[in-house]
Amino acid sequence: MTDPRAPLFAANWKMHKGPVDTVAFVEEFVRAYAPRADATVVFFPPSLSLQAFAGAAADRPDLELGVQDVHPETEGAHTGAISAPMVAQTGATWGLAGHSERRREFGDDDAVVGRKLARLLEASLRPILCVGETLEEREAGELRPVLARQVGVALDALDERDRERLVYAYEPVWAIGTGRTASHSDASEAHAIVREAIARGTGSGRADAALVLYGGSVKPANIAELLAADGVDGVLVGGASLDPESFAAICSAGRG
């Protein structure tokens, strides 16, 4: 990874791109995106495509790899699940935990997310903790308590050393896949709240140093504005990361 304060561009492919599609994407992306030393680029393909990505990107060590989700246990009778130690064998070095779709569709509550973070860290995978509010919670004025709870419970599950390794992604649930994007001021406000919660769990110095990404309908047309928002250290991209040219344009934003 580059300078810890350099922007981080993360691609969450969700349930898109099998191994064959993944190889084709990488071939196009590396032609469109030149390596840069002042940013980190991480891909989160489906677990089935992790090794395909690793093989296709073997000549591009600047393109890092992560898993979208892991089971909260390291092994056992959990049909269809994958564990963090398994993922580590693919060459991946990152992992997502707490994405809103996992919380909504699979019932991952804050306690389960905390356990998944612990498993990722034990396997030497660097976690990105996803937090964010629904439209109903936002309209009810619950932005601050929701973010404080999600961050606080996650930090409580980890020891002091592991807390320093967390990256955070604020994803307003109402903006994911809807075409709606938080405004410059919305993103700055939410990221400040996330840092307040981090400070309560780790101290103000570590909160200032933490990387906090924005996720929610990020695209080439709004990437410059989002990166300019106070407290935004990068982006977690969904739909726009599925197109090589589009994601290459996003990852090239602010290139020095």
Encode the chain (256 residues) as per-residue pLDDT tens digits: 455 568 999 999 999 999 999 999 999 999 999 999 999 999 999 999 999 999 999 999 999 999 999 999 999 999 999 999 999 999 999 999 999 999 999 999 999 999 999 999 999 999 999 999 998 998 899 999 999 999 999 999 999 889 989 999 999 988 777 777 778 788 899 999 999 999 998 876 788 899 999 998 899 999 999 999 999 999 999 999 999 999 999 999 977 6
| Structural domain includes residue 101 | yes
Residue range(s) defining the domain that contains residue 188: 8-251
Q: Give how many domains the chain has, as a whole number.
A: 1
Alpha carbon 132 to its chain's center? 12
Alpha-carbon Rg for the chain, nearest whole angstrom, is 17
| Structural domain includes residue 2 | no
Q: Residue 246 sits in a domain of what CATH number?
A: 3.20.20.70
- Its pTM stands at 0.95
| Structural domain includes residue 82 | yes
| Structural domain includes residue 256 | no
Q: How is residue 79 annotated by DSSP?
A: T
| Structural domain includes residue 243 | yes
| Structural domain includes residue 3 | no
**Active-site amino acid positions:** 99, 171
Token couple for 21:
């599609």
Which H or E element spans position 94? Answer: strand 94-97
Contact status, residue 54 vs residue 79, Cβ threshold 8 Å = no
Token couple for 125:
């995978």
